[in-house]
Copies of this chain bind each other. A is one copy, B any other.
Amino acid sequence: MRLKDLAEHLGLSQTTVSRALNGYPEVNEATRRRVADAADQLGYRPNASALRLATGRAGAIGLVLRGADELGPHMSEFLSGVGSYMAGQEIDMLVSTVGSHQEELAAYRRLAASQKVDAVILHSPTVSDERAELLTELKIPFVLHGRTNIGQPVAWLDIDNTSALERATSHLLDLGHRRIALLNGVKGRTFAEHREIGYRAALTTRGVAVDPALLSNSAFTDEIAFRLAQAMLELKPRPTAFLAGSMMTALGVFRAIRQAGLQLGTDVSMIAHDDVFPYLNADNMYPSMSTTRSSIRQAGTRIAELITQILAGKPQADVHELWPVELVLRESSGPAPRA
């Protein structure tokens, strides 16, 4: 069913039908209704490629994901946040996966040259992100999930990691903890740097020295966290509290704590960062988990919204959102054990 067919069926010109369907004012209300009904009944939908060619808009946004690293549970949640908004906007999500950093840059160049997307979402930036630079150079609009420092201003949405970690660390200090381990994200990522800054700030304010042995940088997986935590628990004196970078990390740390014959919440405390996964509820755990909480799904939805604003003309430089992070205290964080 092409526009032409529909027009013939109605005894109208393509022009009028097109206008009727796209809500132009110069078409008679009766005609519009007639057209709309027919389109509806015959299940007409404009051919996407033709529409895109004619309008010059791709009607899609791009997401380039680096293999296994990024396509984990975090990205899934984020994606469905983005998707839930985009579905209502008739904007598609074009997802590419790449193996290496080089491949990723090449993928953006391809997207730009073939004009497959109107904008992209950039995820997990480094402190000075090369991809962000490339995208500004290619003049393809984007919203950054996180922050970075490049010459140009960029549109971004981030959570306040520094303050979150500062408060979480301070709270543990208040509870008497002095050996506080930080299982942080991969070195070089902005969020990980920000978290470390908050952590250090809280410690230094209290005059507690930072022990490098209690600092680690890694991907957020159960397994890796298990090993790191296990190693740290063998230190003398051992840490009495953990700051876990994600809920997956928290699961690993939890295993290590039990394995060491210790009790979470009494022998060892933990505050984990919770991106809010529907299938992994901090409140339902035993003991329930204290968290710094911020919904990554909501961030996705909001970023999708920001993208449509940018496509509607809002300057990228005006798009900045820093979301506060809740500190939710539950059973996993208790007073430090007596020395």
Asked if B43 contacts A47 (CB within 8 A), the reply is no
- Of A198-206, A218-226, A309-317, the segment with at least 4 beta carbons within 8 Å of chain B is A218-226
B115 touches A97 (CB 8 A): no
CB atoms of B97 and A223 under 8 A apart: no
Is there a chain B Cβ closer than 8 Å to A208's Cβ? Answer: no
User: Which range contains the number of A residues in contact with the other chain?
Assistant: 35 or more
Contact of A97 among B46, B83, B221 (CB under 8 A): B83
What is the chain B residue whose CB lies nearest that of A285? B223
Q: Is A153 close to B, CB under 8 A?
A: no
Judge whether A87 and B98 touch: CB under 8 Å.
yes
Shortest A45–chain B CB gap in Å is 4
Bound CA–CA A80/B63 (angstroms): 13
Which stretch, A50-58, A141-149, A162-170, A266-274, touches the partner chain B?
A50-58
Contacting A114 at CB < 8 Å: which of B47, B80, B93, B103?
B47
Interface readout for A49-89 with B: 1 if CB under 8 Å, 0 if not?
11111000010100001011001110111011001100100
A13: interface (CB < 8 Å): no
The residues of B that contact A278 with a CB separation of less than 8 Å are 68
Count of chain copies = 2
Chain B residues near A116 (CB, 8 Å)?
A: 48, 92
Given A72-B76, A279-B223; A48-B58 close (CB under 8 Å): yes
Known: A76-B71, A279-B223. A93 touches B94 (CB 8 A): yes
Q: Which of B50, B73, B219, B285 contacts A76 (CB 8 A)?
A: B73
B251 engages A47 (CB within 8 Å): no
A110 close to chain B: CB less than 8 A: yes
Q: Known interface pairs A96-B93, A113-B44. Does A71 touch B65 (Cβ–Cβ under 8 Å)?
A: no
A223 and B281 alpha carbons, distance in the complex (Å)? 8
Does A284 sit within 8 A of B, measured CB to CB? yes
Q: Do A68 and B80 form a contact, CB below 8 Å, given A116-B48, A219-B279?
A: yes
Q: For residue A223, which residues in chain B have a CB less than 8 angstroms away from its CB?
A: 279-281, 284-285
Cβ of A258 under 8 Å from chain B = yes
Distance between Cα atoms of A93 and B115 in the complex (Å): 15
Q: Is A323 an interface residue (CB 8 A)?
A: no
- Interchain CB contact (< 8 A) of A68 among B49, B52, B279: B279
**Cβ contact within 8 Å between A96 and B71:** no
A110 touches B45 (CB 8 A): yes
CA separation between A279 and B83, bound complex, in Å? 25
- A302 CB to closest chain B CB (Å) equals 16
30 contacts between A and B (CB under 8 A): A1-B113, A43-B109, A44-B113, A45-B113, A47-B53, A47-B115, A48-B58, A48-B114, A48-B116, A49-B49, A49-B50, A49-B52, A49-B58, A50-B53, A65-B80, A65-B83, A67-B80, A68-B77, A68-B80, A72-B73, A73-B76, A75-B76, A83-B97, A92-B96, A93-B94, A219-B279, A222-B251, A223-B279, A223-B284, A223-B285
Q: Which 7 A-B pairs have the closest CB atoms?
A: A83-B97, A45-B113, A221-B279, A49-B52, A49-B53, A71-B76, A48-B114
